[in-house]
Amino acid sequence: MSKFDTWVDNKLVQNIFVWAVLFIILIGGIQSENRMATALYAILFLMPTVYVTNYVILPFFQKKKIIFFILFILNGILFTLIPVYLISQAIEQSLSLKMFLNLFGFVLLAMIFGMAIRIARDSFKRRQEVKEAELKLLKGQLNPHFLFNTLNNLYGLSVIKSDKLPNLMLKLSDLLRYSLYETREAFVSLKKEISYLENYVSLEKIRLEEQAEINFTITGQLVDKEIAPMLLIVFVENAFKHLGTSDGEKSRVNITMDISENEVAFRCENSFDIYGEKEANLEKGKSGIGLVNAKKRLHLIYPDAHCLEIEKTNGVFSVDLKLSI
């Protein structure tokens, strides 16, 4: 989170900003010889009623609406009578009904405005918490899913006592270290994410050896940008999981990344057996996670900053993703 975001999320800063804006508005709208002093006094009178409304009275709105409205009106009357009395004493005049009604309307307007801000802020906070909780759940689904598939690969190699096993385990160690310790933040370095993909592809090359043609090409410069962690790996893992031959040709996986200053163009394609059973579940996998997970994360993290296209044509399953960074 940037320093600016930290300031924006700070409640004290939010309150100071709102009162400062209101202070400026009052200076421009009040007709008085000393506008700044009058506006300052108005703010000092409004603060108690707004905070009492937001933190004491507003919670009753969801529980007991009648009590809420009674307390709301009484609060407005009380904090209107106080300034009206003080003003009357200052100008040595009796209490004026017209003055009371004018100030009462202004106080009610301030109370409603304050409640609207509080409700909007709480609603935004709840949506953010729901979003963060769902993202944590999706990431929690993803890591065990990847680990399960990789351990299956290790088991297969151990059964045949392959000499590729030690190198494969070292690659897996690097992958797990990244996924467990470096993906706790909402965003990670694009360079680290690409390094993670390269390690994964290297692991698959060791496992598949001559069984498949595997290419991973990166063009452009690795700009100092950040990306959501463990996002692209879903597409790469899916390609290897459903890898198969098409029309008797050698199975293949082609991964390309074109990186510009503000965009990452990612493409991953793999051949599959159009006559086999895997084709029907290319997007889900046995666990139902796979690309469904990635689509949800993209929708949550990059709602208006991505374009995802998935196609299955002529025995080739392809994923094209353009991501604004």
At 72, give phi and psi (nearest 5°): -60, -50
**What pLDDT score does 286 carry?**
44
* pLDDT band with cut points at 50, 70 and 90 for residue 15: confident
Q: Assess contact for 60 and 67: CB atoms under 8 A.
A: yes
**What pLDDT score does 149 carry?**
63
**What pLDDT score does 318 carry?**
93
- The whole-angstrom separation of Cα 320 and Cα 307 is 8
Two tokens at 78? 């009380």
Task: Measure Cα distances from 43 to 16, 37, 39, 71 in Å.
Answer: 11, 10, 6, 21
**Other C-beta atoms within 10 Å of 290: how many?**
23
**Secondary structure string (H, E, C) spanning 244-294:** CCCCCCCEEEEEEEEECCCEEEEEEEEECCCCCCHHHHCCCCCCCCHHHHH
Q: Is the pTM of this model over 0.75?
A: no
Q: Give me the residue label for tokens 């003003």.
A: 87
Alpha helices, DSSP H, located in 160-250: 165-181, 190-208, 233-241
Two tokens at 301? 């993290």
- The whole-angstrom separation of Cα 142 and Cα 147 is 9
- The whole-angstrom separation of Cα 282 and Cα 18 is 52
| Long-range pairs for 286-290: beta carbons < 8 A, 24 or more residues apart | 287/145, 289/141, 289/142, 289/145, 290/145, 290/234, 290/237, 290/238, 290/241
Lowest mean pLDDT among 61-70, 132-141, 185-194, 220-229: 132-141
Please check whether the domain covering 163-324 is classified as CATH 3.30.565.10.
yes
First to last CA, the chain: 15
Percent of the chain at pLDDT > 90 equals 14
SS3 73: helix
- C-alpha atoms less than 13 angstroms from C-alpha of 211 in its C-beta half-sphere: 10
pLDDT digits (tens, 9 = 90+) for 226-263: 998 888 988 998 888 888 876 667 889 999 999 998 89
Task: Measure Cα distances from 61 to 52, 224, 284, 303 in Å.
Answer: 14, 48, 45, 33
**Is a pLDDT exceeding 80 seen at residue 1?**
no
**What pLDDT score does 319 carry?**
94
- Burial string for 90-118 (b: 16+ CB within 10 Å, else e) reads eeeeeeeeebbeebbebbbebbeebbeeb
**What pLDDT score does 275 carry?**
65
* pLDDT band with cut points at 50, 70 and 90 for residue 137: low
The whole-number average pLDDT for the span 73-93 is 82
Lowest mean pLDDT among 143-152, 178-187, 245-254: 143-152
At 225, give phi and psi (nearest 5°): -125, 170
- The whole-angstrom separation of Cα 85 and Cα 273 is 86
Percent of the chain at pLDDT > 70 equals 83
**Is a pLDDT exceeding 70 seen at residue 138?**
no
**What pLDDT score does 285 carry?**
45
**Is a pLDDT exceeding 80 seen at residue 50?**
yes
**What pLDDT score does 289 carry?**
58
The whole-number average pLDDT for the span 90-118 is 82
> Which helix (H) or strand (E) segment is 4 a member of?
helix 3-9
The whole-number average pLDDT for the span 212-219 is 92
Angle at 181 between CA 177 and CA 185, to 5 degrees: 140
**What pLDDT score does 19 carry?**
84
Closest CA to 112 of 61, 177, 176, 41: 61
**Is a pLDDT exceeding 50 seen at residue 280?**
no
- The better pLDDT of the pair 1, 294 is held by 294
Q: Please give the mean pLDDT across all residues of the chain.
A: 80
DSSP string, 91-156: HT----HHHHHHHHHHHHHHHHHHHHHHHHHHHHHHHHHHHHHHHHHHHHHHHHHHHHHHHHHHHH
The whole-number average pLDDT for the span 277-306 is 68
Lowest mean pLDDT among 257-266, 285-294, 300-309: 285-294
Two tokens at 277? 């059973």
The whole-number average pLDDT for the span 54-73 is 88
Beta strands at 251-259 and 212-220: parallel, antiparallel or unpaired: parallel
Indicate the domain borders of the chain. Answer: 3-125, 163-324
- The better pLDDT of the pair 9, 288 is held by 9
**Is a pLDDT exceeding 60 seen at residue 128?**
yes
- The better pLDDT of the pair 22, 77 is held by 77
